[in-house]
Structure 1
Amino acid sequence: MACKITISPSDDGRRLDKVIRSVWPGLPLSVIMKGIRTGSVRLDGKKAKCDLRVTGGQELYVPWESPKESAGEFAFRRTLPLLFEDPRLWAVNKPVNLLVQPDRKDQDNGLDRVKYMLRLAGEEERAYAVHRLDRNTTGVILVALSGVTLRILQDAFRRREVRKTYLAIVAGVPERQGEIDSPLLKDSASNTVRVDEA
Protein backbone atom coordinates (compact mmCIF):
# COMPACT_ATOMS: atom_id res chain seq x y z
CA MET A 1 0.00 0.00 0.00
CA ALA A 2 2.93 2.40 0.57
CA CYS A 3 4.63 4.21 -2.28
CA LYS A 4 7.96 5.86 -3.03
CA ILE A 5 8.32 8.47 -5.76
CA THR A 6 11.12 10.74 -6.92
CA ILE A 7 10.43 14.46 -6.74
CA SER A 8 10.27 15.88 -10.25
CA PRO A 9 12.66 18.71 -11.20
CA SER A 10 9.55 20.74 -12.07
CA ASP A 11 8.55 20.61 -8.38
CA ASP A 12 11.92 21.99 -7.23
CA GLY A 13 11.34 24.65 -4.55
CA ARG A 14 7.67 23.80 -3.95
CA ARG A 15 6.26 23.06 -0.50
CA LEU A 16 6.04 19.37 0.39
CA ASP A 17 2.29 19.46 1.08
CA LYS A 18 1.63 21.17 -2.28
CA VAL A 19 3.65 18.52 -4.13
CA ILE A 20 1.71 15.73 -2.42
CA ARG A 21 -1.60 17.38 -3.28
CA SER A 22 -0.60 17.71 -6.93
CA VAL A 23 0.31 14.00 -7.16
CA TRP A 24 -2.75 12.81 -5.17
CA PRO A 25 -5.40 15.50 -5.89
CA GLY A 26 -8.24 13.47 -4.40
CA LEU A 27 -6.53 12.79 -1.10
CA PRO A 28 -8.13 14.80 1.71
CA LEU A 29 -5.86 17.44 3.21
CA SER A 30 -6.42 15.96 6.69
CA VAL A 31 -4.91 12.64 5.53
CA ILE A 32 -1.87 14.39 4.06
CA MET A 33 -1.29 16.49 7.20
CA LYS A 34 -1.70 13.47 9.48
CA GLY A 35 0.87 11.55 7.42
CA ILE A 36 3.34 14.43 7.66
CA ARG A 37 2.66 15.08 11.36
CA THR A 38 3.06 11.42 12.39
CA GLY A 39 6.21 10.93 10.31
CA SER A 40 4.72 8.30 8.01
CA VAL A 41 5.48 10.71 5.14
CA ARG A 42 9.26 10.88 4.73
CA LEU A 43 11.58 12.81 2.46
CA ASP A 44 14.93 11.12 1.81
CA GLY A 45 14.13 8.78 4.72
CA LYS A 46 13.60 11.62 7.21
CA LYS A 47 10.54 13.12 8.85
CA ALA A 48 9.64 16.41 7.18
CA LYS A 49 7.42 19.42 7.84
CA CYS A 50 4.60 20.36 5.48
CA ASP A 51 6.13 23.73 4.58
CA LEU A 52 9.53 22.23 3.73
CA ARG A 53 10.69 23.18 0.22
CA VAL A 54 11.56 20.09 -1.80
CA THR A 55 14.37 19.59 -4.30
CA GLY A 56 14.08 17.71 -7.57
CA GLY A 57 15.50 14.20 -7.23
CA GLN A 58 14.60 13.72 -3.55
CA GLU A 59 12.85 10.46 -2.60
CA LEU A 60 9.35 10.88 -1.17
CA TYR A 61 7.85 7.97 0.80
CA VAL A 62 4.12 8.02 1.57
CA PRO A 63 1.90 5.47 3.37
CA TRP A 64 -0.72 5.33 0.60
CA GLU A 65 -0.77 3.78 -2.87
CA SER A 66 0.79 5.27 -5.95
CA PRO A 67 -1.68 7.26 -8.03
CA LYS A 68 -1.37 4.69 -10.86
CA GLU A 69 -2.13 1.67 -8.64
CA SER A 70 -4.70 3.24 -6.37
CA ALA A 71 -7.53 3.34 -8.89
CA GLY A 72 -8.18 -0.41 -8.68
CA GLU A 73 -11.32 -1.29 -10.60
CA PHE A 74 -12.51 2.30 -10.94
CA ALA A 75 -13.13 2.98 -14.63
CA PHE A 76 -12.93 6.74 -14.14
CA ARG A 77 -9.97 7.88 -12.04
CA ARG A 78 -11.28 11.34 -11.30
CA THR A 79 -11.92 13.29 -8.16
CA LEU A 80 -14.17 16.16 -7.07
CA PRO A 81 -13.31 19.30 -5.12
CA LEU A 82 -13.72 18.43 -1.44
CA LEU A 83 -15.42 21.35 0.35
CA PHE A 84 -15.89 19.81 3.81
CA GLU A 85 -14.90 16.58 5.50
CA ASP A 86 -15.30 14.89 8.84
CA PRO A 87 -15.43 11.18 9.76
CA ARG A 88 -19.19 10.99 9.02
CA LEU A 89 -19.77 13.35 6.12
CA TRP A 90 -18.14 14.84 3.05
CA ALA A 91 -19.40 17.77 0.99
CA VAL A 92 -18.18 17.84 -2.61
CA ASN A 93 -18.69 20.20 -5.54
CA LYS A 94 -20.51 18.45 -8.40
CA PRO A 95 -19.80 19.92 -11.82
CA VAL A 96 -22.34 20.32 -14.60
CA ASN A 97 -22.94 17.27 -16.87
CA LEU A 98 -22.15 14.75 -14.12
CA LEU A 99 -24.80 12.50 -12.58
CA VAL A 100 -24.68 12.01 -8.82
CA GLN A 101 -25.42 8.29 -9.30
CA PRO A 102 -24.97 6.34 -12.55
CA ASP A 103 -27.90 5.25 -14.66
CA ARG A 104 -25.73 2.55 -16.25
CA LYS A 105 -22.68 0.61 -15.08
CA ASP A 106 -19.91 2.16 -17.19
CA GLN A 107 -20.82 5.80 -16.55
CA ASP A 108 -18.74 8.43 -14.75
CA ASN A 109 -20.64 9.75 -11.72
CA GLY A 110 -20.17 11.72 -8.51
CA LEU A 111 -20.59 8.81 -6.10
CA ASP A 112 -17.91 6.70 -7.77
CA ARG A 113 -15.58 9.69 -7.75
CA VAL A 114 -16.07 10.03 -3.99
CA LYS A 115 -15.42 6.29 -3.50
CA TYR A 116 -12.22 6.66 -5.54
CA MET A 117 -11.19 9.59 -3.30
CA LEU A 118 -11.87 7.44 -0.21
CA ARG A 119 -9.68 4.67 -1.64
CA LEU A 120 -6.87 7.17 -2.28
CA ALA A 121 -7.21 8.24 1.36
CA GLY A 122 -6.98 4.64 2.57
CA GLU A 123 -10.54 4.79 3.92
CA GLU A 124 -13.45 2.39 3.51
CA GLU A 125 -15.26 2.99 0.24
CA ARG A 126 -18.65 3.45 1.86
CA ALA A 127 -20.32 6.53 0.42
CA TYR A 128 -24.02 7.32 0.16
CA ALA A 129 -25.49 10.32 -1.66
CA VAL A 130 -27.75 12.13 0.80
CA HIS A 131 -29.54 13.99 -2.02
CA ARG A 132 -29.20 14.56 -5.76
CA LEU A 133 -28.70 17.40 -8.17
CA ASP A 134 -29.75 17.28 -11.81
CA ARG A 135 -27.08 16.55 -14.40
CA ASN A 136 -27.15 20.17 -15.62
CA THR A 137 -26.89 21.61 -12.11
CA THR A 138 -23.59 22.31 -10.44
CA GLY A 139 -23.39 22.57 -6.67
CA VAL A 140 -22.74 20.97 -3.31
CA ILE A 141 -23.55 17.30 -2.76
CA LEU A 142 -23.58 15.85 0.75
CA VAL A 143 -22.15 12.34 0.97
CA ALA A 144 -22.74 10.25 4.10
CA LEU A 145 -19.94 7.89 5.07
CA SER A 146 -22.19 5.59 7.10
CA GLY A 147 -25.74 4.32 7.00
CA VAL A 148 -26.54 6.05 10.30
CA THR A 149 -25.42 9.44 8.96
CA LEU A 150 -27.39 8.84 5.77
CA ARG A 151 -30.62 8.18 7.70
CA ILE A 152 -30.16 11.22 9.96
CA LEU A 153 -29.51 13.57 7.04
CA GLN A 154 -32.26 12.17 4.81
CA ASP A 155 -34.71 12.59 7.71
CA ALA A 156 -33.57 16.22 8.04
CA PHE A 157 -34.20 16.75 4.31
CA ARG A 158 -37.66 15.12 4.60
CA ARG A 159 -38.56 17.36 7.54
CA ARG A 160 -37.36 20.37 5.49
CA GLU A 161 -34.76 21.25 8.12
CA VAL A 162 -32.12 21.73 5.42
CA ARG A 163 -32.15 25.06 3.58
CA LYS A 164 -31.23 24.87 -0.10
CA THR A 165 -30.34 27.88 -2.23
CA TYR A 166 -30.32 27.81 -6.02
CA LEU A 167 -28.76 30.45 -8.25
CA ALA A 168 -29.66 30.77 -11.92
CA ILE A 169 -28.00 32.40 -14.89
CA VAL A 170 -30.47 34.58 -16.77
CA ALA A 171 -30.44 36.66 -19.93
CA GLY A 172 -31.16 40.35 -19.36
CA VAL A 173 -32.00 41.98 -16.05
CA PRO A 174 -34.96 40.41 -14.27
CA GLU A 175 -37.21 42.25 -11.83
CA ARG A 176 -36.14 42.02 -8.19
CA GLN A 177 -39.17 39.87 -7.45
CA GLY A 178 -41.69 38.15 -9.62
CA GLU A 179 -43.19 34.97 -10.85
CA ILE A 180 -42.70 33.21 -14.15
CA ASP A 181 -45.83 31.33 -15.15
CA SER A 182 -44.89 30.00 -18.58
CA PRO A 183 -44.45 26.50 -19.91
CA LEU A 184 -40.98 25.00 -20.06
CA LEU A 185 -39.53 23.55 -23.25
CA LYS A 186 -37.02 20.74 -23.05
CA ASP A 187 -34.27 20.53 -25.67
CA SER A 188 -33.20 16.88 -25.67
CA ALA A 189 -30.22 17.52 -27.95
CA SER A 190 -28.55 19.93 -25.51
CA ASN A 191 -30.21 18.44 -22.40
CA THR A 192 -31.46 21.89 -21.35
CA VAL A 193 -34.78 23.46 -20.41
CA ARG A 194 -35.93 26.99 -21.23
CA VAL A 195 -39.03 29.12 -20.72
CA ASP A 196 -41.43 29.14 -23.68
CA GLU A 197 -42.30 32.80 -24.17
CA ALA A 198 -44.81 32.15 -27.00
Structure 2
Amino acid sequence: MTDEIRLLIADDQALVRGALAALLDLEPDLRVVAQVGRGDEVVDAARAGGADVCLLDIEMPGADGIEVAERLRDQLPGVHSLIVTTFGRPGYLRRAMAAGASGFVVKDTPAAQLADAVRRVHAGLRVVDPTLATESLTSGESPLTPREIDILRVARTGATVAAIAAEVHLSGGTVRNHLSSAIGKTGATTRAEAARIAEDRGWI
Protein backbone atom coordinates (compact mmCIF):
# COMPACT_ATOMS: atom_id res chain seq x y z
CA MET A 1 0.00 0.00 0.00
CA THR A 2 1.37 3.38 -0.90
CA ASP A 3 -0.51 5.17 1.88
CA GLU A 4 0.54 2.89 4.73
CA ILE A 5 2.15 4.45 7.79
CA ARG A 6 5.50 2.86 8.66
CA LEU A 7 6.18 2.51 12.38
CA LEU A 8 9.18 2.01 14.63
CA ILE A 9 8.60 0.76 18.18
CA ALA A 10 11.24 1.51 20.83
CA ASP A 11 10.80 -0.12 24.24
CA ASP A 12 13.31 -1.93 26.42
CA GLN A 13 10.77 -4.65 27.27
CA ALA A 14 10.56 -7.22 24.46
CA LEU A 15 7.06 -8.34 25.49
CA VAL A 16 5.73 -4.78 25.29
CA ARG A 17 7.40 -4.21 21.91
CA GLY A 18 5.92 -7.43 20.58
CA ALA A 19 2.45 -6.70 21.91
CA LEU A 20 2.38 -3.19 20.46
CA ALA A 21 3.66 -4.45 17.12
CA ALA A 22 1.07 -7.23 16.98
CA LEU A 23 -1.79 -4.85 17.80
CA LEU A 24 -0.75 -2.13 15.37
CA ASP A 25 0.03 -4.55 12.55
CA LEU A 26 -3.63 -5.60 12.63
CA GLU A 27 -4.54 -2.17 11.27
CA PRO A 28 -4.68 -2.20 7.44
CA ASP A 29 -2.91 1.14 7.08
CA LEU A 30 -0.16 0.59 9.68
CA ARG A 31 3.03 -1.47 9.32
CA VAL A 32 5.74 -1.97 11.90
CA VAL A 33 9.08 -1.81 10.08
CA ALA A 34 11.48 -1.78 13.06
CA GLN A 35 11.66 -2.66 16.74
CA VAL A 36 14.51 -1.61 19.04
CA GLY A 37 15.21 -1.98 22.75
CA ARG A 38 17.57 0.97 23.21
CA GLY A 39 17.07 4.67 22.75
CA ASP A 40 20.41 5.19 21.05
CA GLU A 41 19.38 2.77 18.27
CA VAL A 42 16.25 4.66 17.23
CA VAL A 43 17.57 7.24 14.77
CA ASP A 44 19.59 4.74 12.71
CA ALA A 45 16.76 2.18 12.72
CA ALA A 46 14.19 4.82 11.75
CA ARG A 47 16.38 5.98 8.90
CA ALA A 48 17.06 2.42 7.69
CA GLY A 49 13.42 1.35 7.91
CA GLY A 50 11.95 4.51 6.44
CA ALA A 51 9.78 5.00 9.52
CA ASP A 52 7.09 7.69 9.47
CA VAL A 53 6.20 7.54 13.17
CA CYS A 54 8.34 6.32 16.10
CA LEU A 55 6.60 5.06 19.24
CA LEU A 56 8.98 5.74 22.13
CA ASP A 57 9.05 4.53 25.71
CA ILE A 58 10.51 7.05 28.16
CA GLU A 59 12.79 4.89 30.27
CA MET A 60 15.22 3.06 27.98
CA PRO A 61 18.95 2.34 28.10
CA GLY A 62 21.20 4.34 25.80
CA ALA A 63 18.91 7.38 25.69
CA ASP A 64 15.48 8.08 27.16
CA GLY A 65 12.44 8.69 24.99
CA ILE A 66 12.49 12.45 25.53
CA GLU A 67 16.11 12.67 24.40
CA VAL A 68 15.30 10.45 21.41
CA ALA A 69 12.38 12.69 20.40
CA GLU A 70 14.80 15.61 20.33
CA ARG A 71 17.30 13.66 18.21
CA LEU A 72 14.57 12.68 15.75
CA ARG A 73 13.42 16.29 15.46
CA ASP A 74 16.97 17.45 14.75
CA GLN A 75 18.21 14.58 12.56
CA LEU A 76 15.04 13.25 10.86
CA PRO A 77 12.60 16.18 10.87
CA GLY A 78 10.12 14.33 8.65
CA VAL A 79 9.66 11.58 11.24
CA HIS A 80 7.08 12.09 14.00
CA SER A 81 7.50 10.75 17.53
CA LEU A 82 4.77 9.51 19.86
CA ILE A 83 5.64 8.83 23.50
CA VAL A 84 3.90 5.66 24.73
CA THR A 85 4.76 5.18 28.39
CA THR A 86 3.77 3.68 31.72
CA PHE A 87 5.00 6.85 33.38
CA GLY A 88 2.16 9.32 32.93
CA ARG A 89 3.78 12.25 34.70
CA PRO A 90 2.89 15.85 33.85
CA GLY A 91 6.54 16.92 33.94
CA TYR A 92 7.40 14.25 31.38
CA LEU A 93 4.63 15.53 29.13
CA ARG A 94 5.96 19.08 29.21
CA ARG A 95 9.53 17.96 28.56
CA ALA A 96 8.51 15.61 25.74
CA MET A 97 6.55 18.31 23.94
CA ALA A 98 9.40 20.77 24.37
CA ALA A 99 11.73 18.14 22.86
CA GLY A 100 9.62 17.88 19.73
CA ALA A 101 7.36 14.89 20.43
CA SER A 102 4.05 15.06 18.56
CA GLY A 103 2.09 13.00 21.05
CA PHE A 104 2.06 11.51 24.54
CA VAL A 105 -0.16 8.60 25.60
CA VAL A 106 -0.02 5.95 28.30
CA LYS A 107 0.43 2.25 27.64
CA ASP A 108 -3.03 1.24 28.80
CA THR A 109 -4.58 3.28 25.97
CA PRO A 110 -7.00 0.98 24.06
CA ALA A 111 -5.56 -0.38 20.80
CA ALA A 112 -8.03 1.48 18.58
CA GLN A 113 -7.22 4.78 20.31
CA LEU A 114 -3.50 4.12 19.99
CA ALA A 115 -3.85 3.43 16.27
CA ASP A 116 -5.86 6.62 15.91
CA ALA A 117 -3.17 8.54 17.81
CA VAL A 118 -0.57 7.23 15.35
CA ARG A 119 -2.66 8.39 12.39
CA ARG A 120 -3.21 11.83 13.88
CA VAL A 121 0.48 12.29 14.70
CA HIS A 122 1.37 11.21 11.16
CA ALA A 123 -1.06 13.81 9.84
CA GLY A 124 0.84 16.51 11.71
CA LEU A 125 -1.51 16.84 14.67
CA ARG A 126 -0.63 16.76 18.35
CA VAL A 127 -2.13 14.04 20.51
CA VAL A 128 -2.03 14.20 24.30
CA ASP A 129 -3.66 11.98 26.91
CA PRO A 130 -6.49 14.23 28.19
CA THR A 131 -5.98 13.39 31.87
CA LEU A 132 -2.29 14.18 31.62
CA ALA A 133 -2.99 17.40 29.77
CA THR A 134 -5.21 18.56 32.63
CA GLU A 135 -2.65 17.54 35.26
CA SER A 136 0.09 19.31 33.34
CA LEU A 137 -1.88 22.54 33.32
CA THR A 138 -2.62 22.35 37.05
CA SER A 139 0.82 21.18 38.21
CA GLY A 140 2.75 24.05 36.64
CA GLU A 141 6.29 24.25 35.37
CA SER A 142 9.19 22.64 37.19
CA PRO A 143 10.60 25.13 39.72
CA LEU A 144 14.00 23.44 39.69
CA THR A 145 17.07 24.90 38.01
CA PRO A 146 19.10 22.72 35.60
CA ARG A 147 21.84 22.41 38.23
CA GLU A 148 19.35 21.35 40.92
CA ILE A 149 17.98 18.72 38.51
CA ASP A 150 21.49 17.37 37.89
CA ILE A 151 22.15 17.13 41.62
CA LEU A 152 18.82 15.48 42.45
CA ARG A 153 19.40 12.88 39.73
CA VAL A 154 22.57 11.84 41.53
CA ALA A 155 20.99 12.23 44.99
CA ARG A 156 18.24 9.71 44.20
CA THR A 157 20.92 6.97 44.14
CA GLY A 158 21.57 7.62 47.84
CA ALA A 159 24.96 9.19 47.17
CA THR A 160 26.67 11.27 49.85
CA VAL A 161 27.18 15.01 49.41
CA ALA A 162 30.86 14.34 48.69
CA ALA A 163 29.97 11.77 46.01
CA ILE A 164 27.42 14.12 44.46
CA ALA A 165 29.98 16.95 44.44
CA ALA A 166 32.50 14.75 42.66
CA GLU A 167 29.91 13.62 40.09
CA VAL A 168 28.72 17.14 39.18
CA HIS A 169 32.13 18.85 39.64
CA LEU A 170 31.05 21.27 42.37
CA SER A 171 32.19 21.89 45.94
CA GLY A 172 30.38 20.19 48.79
CA GLY A 173 29.12 23.51 50.09
CA THR A 174 27.64 24.45 46.69
CA VAL A 175 25.94 21.05 46.46
CA ARG A 176 24.44 21.54 49.94
CA ASN A 177 23.10 24.94 48.89
CA HIS A 178 21.49 23.49 45.76
CA LEU A 179 20.03 20.56 47.74
CA SER A 180 18.61 22.94 50.33
CA SER A 181 16.98 24.99 47.58
CA ALA A 182 15.56 21.89 45.89
CA ILE A 183 14.21 20.55 49.18
CA GLY A 184 12.45 23.86 49.77
CA LYS A 185 10.98 24.01 46.26
CA THR A 186 9.60 20.46 46.42
CA GLY A 187 8.24 20.83 49.96
CA ALA A 188 10.36 17.88 51.06
CA THR A 189 12.24 17.37 54.33
CA THR A 190 15.21 15.35 53.01
CA ARG A 191 17.17 15.20 49.77
CA ALA A 192 15.93 11.64 49.16
CA GLU A 193 12.34 12.83 49.46
CA ALA A 194 13.04 15.83 47.23
CA ALA A 195 14.46 13.51 44.56
CA ARG A 196 11.44 11.20 44.83
CA ILE A 197 8.94 14.06 44.56
CA ALA A 198 10.79 15.54 41.57
CA GLU A 199 10.87 12.12 39.89
CA ASP A 200 7.16 11.50 40.57
CA ARG A 201 6.32 14.82 38.92
CA GLY A 202 8.54 14.12 35.92
CA TRP A 203 10.90 16.99 36.67
CA ILE A 204 14.00 14.80 36.63
TM-score by length of 1: 0.27
Greater RCO (CA < 8 Å, at least 6 residues apart): 1
User: By percentage of residues, which structure has more strand?
Assistant: 1
Q: Which has the larger radius of gyration?
A: 1
User: By percentage of residues, which structure has more helix?
Assistant: 2
